[in-house]
Structure 1
Amino acid sequence: MKISVLGAGGWGTTLAILLHYNGHKVTLWEYQKSYARELNKKRINKDYLPGIKIPDEIIITPDLDESADDKNLIVLAVPSQFLRKVVKKINYSSIRDAVLVSVSKGIEKDSLMTMSQMLLDVQSSMSENQIGVISGPSHAEEVSHRTPTAVVAASVDVEASKTIQAAFVTSYFRVYSSTDILGVELGGAFKNIIAIGAGIIDGAGFGDNTKAAIMTRGVAEISRLGLAMGARPETFAGLSGMGDLIVTCMSKHSRNRYVGEQIGKGKKLNAVIKSMEQVAEGVDTTRSAKKLAEKFDVETPITNQVYKILYEEKDPIKATTDLMTRDMKTE
């Protein structure tokens, strides 16, 4: 297959390499011309994936038209808040026969759309059968070293999900298929909020009991919101829900957990974000999820407290106490 990966961050680069070794003809798009030149010259993504060689056969270009034209599959590895701007620049005539696959985990902050919804909004001539996503517990740092990993490829169209599945599956990257694209996307986006909460727990010096409570009740919370929005309940117990939440709450590679940890130690959100080279999607997603919970009239106490810590500078200890002293409930 002819496949293009848009976005040469850590995840985009990792997937481009994986797809190349799976026998596909791969193009990797990097929007900065100077960095694209450096990637072509050195064949190492020193900023986002140091130590991993990019095969010479992968075409690296800053030309978006060249990247999108005449491809079977286009993988969108651009951060969620920038993806609309990129997709708007692509001519429909170039992608009329392609399947678009989002690997970004977020909710667009102004429209409150998932990435697949946004793609259909921008490229309105495309069919929803041409849109898919990949999500699950899959840090680029580990996949790039061929650590055994399992994810989900989802599309409303069974054949599209199987096409994506077949393109990506390897001996170390197992891909399941699903038709619950909404649930897969919501699980991947909302778990970042819980990961920020778990990081706050770490930074504030609470223990494993507290973190386990946040994670478990976090799954219940994102499931409630997802079901109200039309997703299937079993999706949140799978790789794109519980699986992704576990790895994002526990891993040293998790940017969202790191943000929470630094805030739990007393640092300010703006200072933490400025110190990071990559995007922590959960910061914007927290605001979006709060709005969605209000829209669908769903109780989301953890999201509400994370929002207050991030945007209203509420003391993390006070936020934890407020969660613990809510009205008694059945589980």
Structure 2
Amino acid sequence: MKVFVIGSGSWGSALAQICVDNGHDVLIYGNNADEINEINDSHTNSKYFENVILNEHLKGTLDISKVSDADLVVMSVPSAVTAQVCTQIQPYLTKKVILVNTSKGFDPATGKRMSEAIRAAFDKEKLSSVVSLIGPSHAEEVVIRMLTSVCAVSLNEEDAKTVQNVFSNNYFRVYTGSDEIGSELGVATKNSIALASGMLAGLGYGDNTRAALITRGLAEMIRFGVASGGQEKTFMGLTGMGDLIVTCTSTHSRNFEAGYQIGKADTSQVYWDNNHKTVEGIRTTQVLYKLKKDLHVEMPIVDEIYQVLYENKKPSQSAKDLMLRELKAE
């Protein structure tokens, strides 16, 4: 199968390598000439992976029009530009493609889930379906072929199975799922909870605190997800609890790391002044805060993270306020 991966960052590179390992015809697109030349000439991507040699058959391009030959397009770009890139590639497509979404967030302009935003941006004549390839997975581990399991979630069962077969191998196991709402809201919501986890670590709190946060964060995720139309059982799986655990506990997580720096400084200003990376949880929290208010869903952790990020509240005060909430049954 011909696979075109858009995005030569860490996750795009790791997913492209999986497809090459599996014997597919793969081309990875990026707009940074140094990155693409390095992939082609040295079989490395040192900006993201230190001392990692990529599969020598992985090839990169600076020409996005080469998407025209693809059967399957993997979108590995930030959620904020996903719809824009969808619009950009359509003139070059000569047949219907399966669009594999890997973003875990919301479209910032509309608040739509990623699959909704992609379908809204695509002509029906050029899109077979959207399949979200999501779950507990850090590129830094996948690229060195550590055992990982994720989920291919789609309203189109056959296309989900196609993606499952394209990506599955002896180190990367793909399950299929059909609860698009629950799965996409799960992997988005965990971004905000991971920010909180990092903040607590930065403030000096330990394992007890983290365990409480993850557990109560899962409760918020379920309340919000079910109120939005997701299935409760979905949040016990890879795109719910699985992704929540890995993102709340790993230093590979940009959300955790950003939260850690905010907690250590006890102010979000350190993020706004110094961060240059895509941290999905920052935008996700803003969207979640609005959506949960519209649905009248109680999400105290999201409330506190929103106040830290956008109302200059100190993380140390937020931690205290969460502990002093009205006592009740679990």
TM-score, normalised relative to structure 1: 0.94
Deviations 1:140-195 (A, max 9, x none): 11111111111111101111111111110011111110011221111111101000
**Cα offset for 1:328?**
2.6
**Cα offset for 1:323?**
1.3
Alpha-carbon separation, structure 1, partners of 2:272 and 2:149: 29
Find out whether 1:52 has 2:52 as its counterpart: yes
Alpha-carbon separation, structure 2, partners of 1:124 and 1:298: 34
TM-score, normalised relative to structure 2: 0.95
CA, structure 1 residues 274+38, in 2 after alignment: closer, same or farther (shift >3 Å)? farther
Paired residues of 1:107 and 1:114 also in contact (CA < 8 A): yes
Paired residues of 2:2 and 2:24 also in contact (CA < 8 A): yes
Could you tell me which runs of 5 or more consecutive residues in structure 2 were left unpaired when the two chains were aligned. none
Alpha-carbon separation, structure 2, partners of 1:25 and 1:179: 27
Aligned to 1:298: 297
**Cα offset for 1:113?**
0.9
**Cα offset for 1:327?**
2.2
Aligned to 1:102: 101
Partner letter of residue 166 of structure 1?
Answer: N
Deviations 1:192-243 (A, max 9, x none): 1000101111111122222111110101101111111111111111011100
Aligned to 2:195: 196
Aligned to 1:130: 129
Alpha-carbon separation, structure 1, partners of 2:157 and 2:2: 21
Aligned to 1:115: 114
- SS state of the match for residue 294, structure 2? helix
Find out whether 1:12 has 2:20 as its counterpart: no
Partner letter of residue 141 of structure 1?
Answer: E
How do 1:1-331 residues align onto structure 2 when only pairs under 5 Å count?
1-66=1-66, 68-91=67-90, 94=93, 96-125=95-124, 130-266=129-265, 268-269=267-268, 271-272=270-271, 275-276=274-275, 278-331=277-330
- SS state of the match for residue 164, structure 1? helix
CA, structure 1 residues 126+223, in 2 after alignment: closer, same or farther (shift >3 Å)? farther
Partner letter of residue 138 of structure 1?
Answer: S
CA, structure 1 residues 300+95, in 2 after alignment: closer, same or farther (shift >3 Å)? farther
Alpha-carbon separation, structure 2, partners of 1:230 and 1:81: 24
Which stretch has the larger CA shift, 205-214 or 118-127?
118-127
**Cα offset for 1:36?**
2.3
**Cα offset for 1:307?**
0.7
Partner letter of residue 43 of structure 1?
Answer: H
- SS state of the match for residue 110, structure 1? coil
**Cα offset for 1:28?**
0.1
CA, structure 1 residues 311+33, in 2 after alignment: closer, same or farther (shift >3 Å)? same
Alpha-carbon separation, structure 1, partners of 2:247 and 2:119: 28
Paired residues of 2:90 and 2:126 also in contact (CA < 8 A): no
Could you tell me which runs of 5 or more consecutive residues in structure 1 were left unpaired when the two chains were aligned. none
Alpha-carbon separation, structure 2, partners of 1:226 and 1:126: 31
- SS state of the match for residue 138, structure 1? coil
Paired residues of 1:264 and 1:316 also in contact (CA < 8 A): yes
What percent identity do the matched residue pairs reach? 39
Paired residues of 1:92 and 1:123 also in contact (CA < 8 A): no
Partner letter of residue 9 of structure 1?
Answer: G
Which stretch has the larger CA shift, 185-194 or 268-277?
268-277
**Cα offset for 1:326?**
1.8
Alpha-carbon separation, structure 2, partners of 1:95 and 1:298: 44
CA, structure 1 residues 38+207, in 2 after alignment: closer, same or farther (shift >3 Å)? closer
Paired residues of 1:129 and 1:155 also in contact (CA < 8 A): no
Paired residues of 2:96 and 2:127 also in contact (CA < 8 A): no
Alpha-carbon separation, structure 2, partners of 1:276 and 1:8: 20
CA, structure 1 residues 144+266, in 2 after alignment: closer, same or farther (shift >3 Å)? same
CA, structure 1 residues 102+217, in 2 after alignment: closer, same or farther (shift >3 Å)? same
